[in-house]
Amino acid sequence: QSVSAMKHSIIESKPCKRLVLYYHDILFNGTDVANATSARAANGTGLGNYQFGMLVVFNDPLTKDHHLLSPAVGRAQGFFFYDMKDDYTAWFAYTLVFNSSEHKGTLNIMGADLMYAETRDISVVGGTGDFFMARGICTFKTDTFQGANYFRLQMDIKLYEC
Amino acid sequence: QSVSAMKHSIIESKPCKRLVLYYHDILFNGTDVANATSARAANGTGLGNYQFGMLVVFNDPLTKDHHLLSPAVGRAQGFFFYDMKDDYTAWFAYTLVFNSSEHKGTLNIMGADLMYAETRDISVVGGTGDFFMARGICTFKTDTFQGANYFRLQMDIKLYEC
Amino acid sequence: QSVSAMKHSIIESKPCKRLVLYYHDILFNGTDVANATSARAANGTGLGNYQFGMLVVFNDPLTKDHHLLSPAVGRAQGFFFYDMKDDYTAWFAYTLVFNSSEHKGTLNIMGADLMYAETRDISVVGGTGDFFMARGICTFKTDTFQGANYFRLQMDIKLYEC
């Protein structure tokens, strides 16, 4: 099928697939190898007081509810870094990896996490396996932030190409 | 609507939306916190003499003309690193963030900046808000390079899915 | 042409274009500038024993067969990092750069390299030049792993939007 440059009419409220997941990040403090799920690969740079340039690699569990100890339905593998000098904002790129009876495959995601906003949208740019050639939007919402070492995001994933 | 694997016939000269913006990058020198817009998160590696592996996190203003001090119409938040041992080339991934009366939303972009070429194309892989589910091409052109601490790129953004 | 949110019916076994390439990575050991094709921009973090957080920037030759010394038909420019604490997995983002009589242009690729699997799929999220607006899947297969300094991947690239 041949298509030319197109003004699509996808309706934002009607995804063809939707997944709501919770992402749990426990930053390595140097000794908690058993619990930690992420670690600092580069330190902040001193440009301002909000960890500008600090880069964190993560391999974080995904659960269906808020609880850290609920069964993981997948992992989020990737990185983020902080990128604002007078407040916290971050930039994420990662893969959701599923390998359960419910879903097998991956979703690849990237975009800016404008943490000052209550919700913020980033892009689902591709998928594999059950999510072969998917595209869509992932909406972040901060669920909790506990000091420097634990935070939890709600990720509301809406696919418009399935 | 159902489509099968497709040979599209999008016409490169006819985007459905086009934005030409200037990107201004002022690398933090350790003391100019007020002016700097980017900082080195990782140093060069010593593989060759062209800063191979040096990684820069940025949060750079975007203007409609060449002037650094023109009103910013958005920000570019992301990173680049140098990746060639016998010349300068770089690799970029970032988000254009718009929050004005004209545009609200983001565009997510990644690709190789082959700096030796006069112009080079990278991919717009997704968008949100006014740019919901967009895709396209961003063409880089170096506008100026002033020593190690300031450079300016023209970013000619052409969307073919709007 | 206007399309709404769609359940596509792309057939995974029938790409509109396919390229099988070999990727050769020689990690810089501090002295082999002439041979090395990649370098460590950030060291491992100590979270586990599998180089969690080690980030490698690469500019690697691509050949049509297994041989490192075969003529390069393109380059892969980008980065990967290790991201698992009790085994090796990695995360890649990079651009394939072609500039030959056969192909001119780029493909932009990202995703998780689940190294414990025999094959693993990542996403081709965009393209330029001969690959204008392409999307698809890149399947990794480890071809060889020789100590810490050389490995070779088969990259089987299947495009479904050409």
| ipTM, interface predicted TM-score of the complex | 0.96
What span, in angstroms and rounded, lies between the C-alpha atoms of A102 and B33? 49
Q: Does any CB of chain A come closer than 8 Å to the CB of residue C154? A: no
- Region A128-151: mean pLDDT is 96
Q: Is A105 left (phi over 0), alpha (psi -120 to 50) or beta?
A: left
Which residue ranges of chain C lie beneath pLDDT 70? 1-4
Task: Give which of B132, C147, B108, B94 is closest to A83, Cα–Cα.
Answer: B94
> Mind listing the domains of chain C with CATH numbers?
17-161 (2.40.480.10)
What pLDDT score was predicted for residue A147?
85
Q: Does any CB of chain B come closer than 8 Å to the CB of residue A112? A: yes
Phi/psi of residue A147, nearest 5 degrees: 60, -155
What pLDDT score was predicted for residue A3?
58
Tell me how close the Cα of C38 comes to any Cα of chain B, in angstroms: 8
What pLDDT score was predicted for residue A1?
45
Contacts of A72 (CB under 8 A, 6+ apart): A61, A62, A63
Give me A80's structure tokens. Answer: 């983020």
Task: Give which of A19, A116, A121 is closest to A76, Cα–Cα.
Answer: A19
Instruction: Give the chain C residue whose CA is nearest to the CA of B48.
Output: C33
Contact C48 A30 (CB under 8 A): no
Task: Give which of B137, B131, B140, B139 is closest to B162, Cα–Cα.
Answer: B131
- Provide the percentage of residues in chain A whose pLDDT is more than 90: 93
Q: Which residue has the higher pLDDT, B4 or A26?
A: A26
Q: Does any CB of chain A come closer than 8 Å to the CB of residue B39? A: yes
- Region A145-157: mean pLDDT is 94
Q: Does any CB of chain C come closer than 8 Å to the CB of residue A59? A: yes
Q: Is C148 exposed, middle or buried (0-12, 13-18, 19+ CB in 10 A)?
A: exposed
**Average pLDDT per run of 10 along chain B, which is 162 residues long?**
68 95 98 98 98 98 97 98 98 97 97 98 98 98 93 98 94
What span, in angstroms and rounded, lies between the C-alpha atoms of B57 and B125? 20
Query: Do residues C131 and C124 make contact, with C-beta atoms less than 8 angstroms apart?
Result: no
| Chains touching C, CB cut-off 8 Å, 3+ pairs | A, B
Residue A147: count other Cβ atoms within 10 Å of its Cβ: 7
